[in-house]
Amino acid sequence: MTGTEQSLRYGGSLGERRRANYTPYQTYNRRYTDQPGRKVEQSTERWAKGLGWLSIGLGLAQIAAPRKVARLIGVNDDDETRNTMFALGLREITSGVGILSRPRPVGWVWTRVGGDLMDLALLGKAMSSGDNDRNRVAAVTAAVVGVTLLDVITGQQLSKGGNGARTSNGSRTISRATGPGFRIGGPIQVKEAITINRPRSEVYRFWHNFENLPRFMAHLESVQILDERRSRWKGKAPAGSTVEWEAEIIEDRPNELIAWRSLPDSTVPNMGSVQFRDAPGGRGTEVLVELRYQPPGGKIGALIAKLFGEEPKQQVKGDLRRFKQVMELGEIVHSDSSIHRGPHPAQPPEDLNKVELGTTQQPQEVQS
In tens, the pLDDT along 217-242 reads 988 899 999 998 999 999 876 656 67
As beta bridge partners, residue 319 has none
Q: What are phi and psi of 47, to 5 degrees?
A: -60, -45
Largest CA distance in the chain: 108
Give the 3-state secondary structure of residue 345: coil
Q: What is the mean pLDDT of residues 273-294?
A: 92
Rg value, the chain, Cα? 28
Per-domain residue ranges of the chain: 1-26, 32-161, 188-335+350-354
Choice among 13-22, 87-96, 98-107, 308-317 with the minimum mean pLDDT: 13-22
Residue 358 has a pLDDT of: 40
Residue 345 has a pLDDT of: 57
How far, in Å, CA of 105 to CA of 98, rounded? 7
Average predicted confidence (pLDDT) for the chain: 75
pLDDT at 286 over 90: yes
How far, in Å, CA of 320 to CA of 327, rounded? 10
Choice among 72-76, 95-99, 265-269, 314-318 with the minimum mean pLDDT: 265-269
Identify the sign of the CA torsion 161, 163, 168, 169: negative
Could you tell me if 82 and 35 are in contact, meaning their C-beta atoms sit under 8 angstroms apart? no
How far, in Å, CA of 290 to CA of 191, rounded? 4
Compute how many other C-beta atoms are within 10 angstroms of the C-beta atom of residue 356.
14
Q: What is the mean pLDDT of residues 327-343?
A: 66
Reported residue count of the chain is 368
Compute how many other C-beta atoms are within 10 angstroms of the C-beta atom of residue 207.
19
CATH numeric code, 188-335+350-354: 3.30.530.20
CA within 13 Å, CB half, 108: 31
Of the candidates 144, 142, 150, the residue with the CA atom closest to the CA atom of residue 47: 150
Question: CA angle at residue 178 from 173 to 183, to 5 degrees?
Answer: 80
Residues 6+ apart with CB under 8 A from 215: 322, 326, 361, 364
Of the candidates 79, 63, 77, 65, the residue with the CA atom closest to the CA atom of residue 238: 63
pLDDT at 304 over 70: no
3-state per-residue secondary structure call for 148-198 = HHHHHHHHHHHHHCCCCEECCCCCEECCCCCCCCCCCCCCEEEEEEEEECC
Of the candidates 316, 296, 188, 317, the residue with the CA atom closest to the CA atom of residue 241: 296
Of the candidates 266, 264, 265, 290, the residue with the CA atom closest to the CA atom of residue 276: 290
How far, in Å, CA of 220 to CA of 268, rounded? 13
Q: Which residue has the higher pLDDT, 217 or 353?
A: 217
Burial class (CB in 10 A: 0-12, 13-18, 19+), 142: exposed
